[in-house]
Structure 1
Amino acid sequence: MVPPSLSDSVRDSLPRRSVLLGLLAAPLTLAACTKDEKKAAPASSSTTTSPTTAATPGPPRVSGKGLPADLLTVMTTVYLGGKVPAGGPVATALAKRKVGKKALTVTGSTASWKGVPIATVVQGKDVTLLVKGKSGSSWQVVGGWWPSLKVSRAPFAAMRVLAIGSDARTPQPVEKCRADALHIIGVDPKGVGGIVGIPRDSWVPLASGGNGKVNAALVFGGVKGQVDTVARATGVPIDGYVIAGFKGFKDMVRAIGGIVYFADRALDDHEGMKVTKKGKNLLDAQRALAFARERKNLPNGDFGRSAHQGELIKAGMVMARAMGPARLAGLLGKMAPHLGTNLTPAQVLNLSAGVFVGSPASVRNVVVPGSIGTRERQSVVLLGGSARSTFKDIRNGRLGA
């Protein structure tokens, strides 16, 4: 997932973000043959040589520098035969695989997502996603694709995730401040299906009762209230959320080394700071946050700001894709401490792996349109038929499907 923002002008030349990951371990060992030994015969006898003896090689295995032995054991069953620890559609998909007979070398990374070990392992064009449960349990294959084994991507249900950017400043509670960035991110078996931004001043029925600006739902009802409000107002089923405040967002950007963003024009000023130049930018934490928040210097105000946030999300995806799937687990591990979420590790891996299925640069990033009006002496955004059409479009996880 996902910082509170990212870009249509992002080029797929670098880096998931966006938002946006190497691994290695235990080389294969083969028993060495003993050297021939020559025995000296008595002077009256001819010289003889004892037969050469060699240890029997063990069965072929999968190796990978830096990867834990128990993980490589699971990968050996995936590629060379045996019962793969997996369930549901993943187990069904892998049951049809065409296993090999030769030793293989893989690459990948391991990390922790909210205290749960996760891993991504790569062999050629194959990608395996794994999660390790409670202490002492085995690694479980929770997703992936294995063209070398004649297995396409394991079935993955479309999901719609709400990315929430809280305007909480330290020490304010992230889940009780206004949600000034709201984006529905759709992901389906074909990859990331679209990003839909919701203007923060949209006037909607609140899950806590009455009507109000959509960003107030977080204040009155916490994350559950915000998710329920968006689901009811849009008609889009929300399968999970990620949330970060100002500090979490900046810490996440620092953890991944900044966000590479291609700007089609310069953004000269935000509270006295030059934010971007035209062309390639490496946004540090402060500038990334400024880019996500600036609206006064944009011709369309909050609508433009929401579009910028979607562009940052796309930039993170492009970065992750450029790093490659072997590093995905490591990247997620860096992001995890700075995000709140109800997504399981398996969901996070499968959602994030979507950036390697389709091209992030082609992902549509839209902000639903609306008219400016007044309600209860407040300037608000009134969502009409065009907004409802866009919400209907993203329900299946893909815009324009």
Structure 2
Amino acid sequence: MPEKTRRRKKKKKWPKVVGIVILLLLIAGGTYLYSVYHSLTAAVETMHTPIDREKSDKRTEKIALSKKEPFSILMLGVDERKGDKGRSDTMIVLAVNPEKNSVKMLSIPRDTRTEIVGNDTEDKINHAYAFGGIEMSMDTVENFLDIPLDYYMQINMEGFKDIVDAVGGVTVNNDLDFTYEGDHFPKGDITLSGEKALKYSRMRYEDPRGDFGRQLRQRQIIQQVINEGASVSTLTNYGGIFDALSKNVKTNITFNEMVDIQQNYKSAANTVDQMTIKENGTKINGIYYGVVNEDEKQRVQNEMKTQLELNQ
């Protein structure tokens, strides 16, 4: 066969080869995307836990996420031990505003004294969960902050370490040198596994700031988990991440709502403003409480209402 004819045939073969390779890549990519989608929907279905709670009188109409309306989430970190319903060890309220491109992250100290709505008593705010679960916690925090809570997210703190490990660990900037339960946490940037992250976020008695220092560390961990979970490198371990979430997280946010949040609110996560509440520690009948004066409560309420674009 003449050399010229052989070269012509080779040229004709290359487009076919390239076409087959592209087709195989598309099929592989489609299979991968389908696998991710299937795993995600299965995880969300497991996490989705509707609650039996009457509509809040602080929100007359349901939030329209498709219209980019500001919304709020109550995050509860719950220590659930065998034979004990548990208490909400961590209470964080997120107020998300896409127009402001920001999130307000408010930590509520566990010992805050307030009215426990539905239990006709004043007690530590974290006791609301023990008395009436998610519903009573939401009602109590709504009353305390005078804002509507649109969603909740409950995290099992014992299993939180699995979530941290699933995203490959987290790196935080530690401002306090301390040792807790056999592990040393030096000052500066430190990378934490799930087990160490859990210890890092739980210590409070060795911190001169008490519960406020612990809240700071908890917010650091949560923010870094969100950052790591959103990074491209974690896509290779999507199965482990979804599995950890499905086993340790409960929420009333539906799959479609999660899609809306991803599409319409993603940029808001770029700016997270961490808020704290100033309290005066005191003992009442021999029990320690954190008491928030009216001026401080009003300040916090106004800031959250502004973020959610509510009338004050």
Same fold by TM-score, threshold 0.5 exceeded?
A: yes
Query: Deviation string for 1:343-371 (max 9, x for gaps)?
Result: 112333444567841463x4111221111
Q: Could you tell me which residue of structure 1 aligns to residue 169 of structure 2? A: 258
Deviation at 1:341, TM superposition (A): 1.2
Any conservation in 2 of the 1:113–1:336 contact (CA below 8 Å)? no
Match of 1:188 among 78, 97, 101: 97
Aligned 1:78-227 pairs, distance under 5 A: 109-113=36-40, 115=42, 155-169=67-81, 171-172=82-83, 176-190=85-99, 191-207=101-117, 208-227=119-138
Residues 168 and 117 (structure 1 numbering): CA distance in 2 closer, same or farther, change over 3 Å?
A: closer
Deviation at 1:251, TM superposition (A): 2.1
Q: Could you tell me which residue of structure 2 aligns to residue 87 of structure 1? A: none
Query: Deviation string for 1:272-293 (max 9, x for gaps)?
Result: 321x333332211111111111
Scaled by the length of structure 1, the TM-score of the pair is 0.58
Any conservation in 2 of the 1:235–1:392 contact (CA below 8 Å)? no
SS of corresponding position for 2:74: strand
Deviation at 1:318, TM superposition (A): 2.4
| 1:236 equivalenced with 2:147 (yes/no) | yes
Q: Could you tell me which residue of structure 1 aligns to residue 249 of structure 2? A: 339
Deviation at 1:179, TM superposition (A): 0.9
Q: Could you tell me which residue of structure 2 aligns to residue 374 of structure 1? A: 283
Residues 64 and 260 (structure 1 numbering): CA distance in 2 closer, same or farther, change over 3 Å?
A: farther
Q: Distance between the aligned counterparts of 2:160 and 2:89, measured in 1?
A: 13
Query: Deviation string for 1:96-129 (max 9, x for gaps)?
Result: xxxxxxxxxxxx94244563779xxxxxxxxxxx
Q: Distance between the aligned counterparts of 1:319 and 1:272, measured in 2?
A: 26
Aligned 1:267-346 pairs, distance under 5 A: 267-274=177-184, 276-323=185-232, 331=241, 334-346=244-256
Any conservation in 1 of the 2:43–2:245 contact (CA below 8 Å)? no
Any conservation in 1 of the 2:228–2:234 contact (CA below 8 Å)? no
Q: Distance between the aligned counterparts of 2:126 and 2:268, measured in 1?
A: 31
Any conservation in 2 of the 1:67–1:110 contact (CA below 8 Å)? no
Q: 1:310 is aligned with what amino acid?
A: R
Q: Could you tell me which residue of structure 2 aligns to residue 25 of structure 1? A: none
Residues 257 and 204 (structure 1 numbering): CA distance in 2 closer, same or farther, change over 3 Å?
A: same
Q: Distance between the aligned counterparts of 1:294 and 1:288, measured in 2?
A: 10
State the Cα RMSD in Å.
Answer: 3.5
- The more displaced of 204-213 and 238-247 is 238-247
Q: Distance between the aligned counterparts of 2:182 and 2:280, measured in 1?
A: 30
Deviation at 1:65, TM superposition (A): 4.3
Q: 2:213 is aligned with what amino acid?
A: G
Question: Identity over the aligned pairs, expressed in percent?
Answer: 22
Q: Distance between the aligned counterparts of 2:283 and 2:204, measured in 1?
A: 20
Query: Deviation string for 1:250-302 (max 9, x for gaps)?
Result: 22222222222233x3432112321x333332211111111111111212101
SS of corresponding position for 2:219: helix
Deviation at 1:66, TM superposition (A): 2.4
Residues 68 and 216 (structure 1 numbering): CA distance in 2 closer, same or farther, change over 3 Å?
A: same
Any conservation in 2 of the 1:317–1:355 contact (CA below 8 Å)? no
Structure with a larger share of its residues in helix: 2
Q: Distance between the aligned counterparts of 1:354 and 1:283, measured in 2?
A: 31
Deviation at 1:224, TM superposition (A): 0.8
Q: 2:92 is aligned with what amino acid?
A: H
Q: 1:206 is aligned with what amino acid?
A: I
Residues 241 and 282 (structure 1 numbering): CA distance in 2 closer, same or farther, change over 3 Å?
A: same
Structure 1: unaligned runs, 5 residues or longer: 1-35, 37-62, 73-107, 119-152
Any conservation in 2 of the 1:160–1:397 contact (CA below 8 Å)? no
Q: Distance between the aligned counterparts of 2:114 and 2:301, measured in 1?
A: 14
Q: Distance between the aligned counterparts of 1:397 and 1:111, measured in 2?
A: 35
SS of corresponding position for 2:29: coil
| 1:246 equivalenced with 2:173 (yes/no) | no
Q: Distance between the aligned counterparts of 1:307 and 1:165, measured in 2?
A: 14
Q: 2:37 is aligned with what amino acid?
A: T
Residues 205 and 332 (structure 1 numbering): CA distance in 2 closer, same or farther, change over 3 Å?
A: same
Q: 2:301 is aligned with what amino acid?
A: F
- The more displaced of 153-162 and 378-387 is 153-162
* Larger Rg, first or second structure (1 or 2): 1
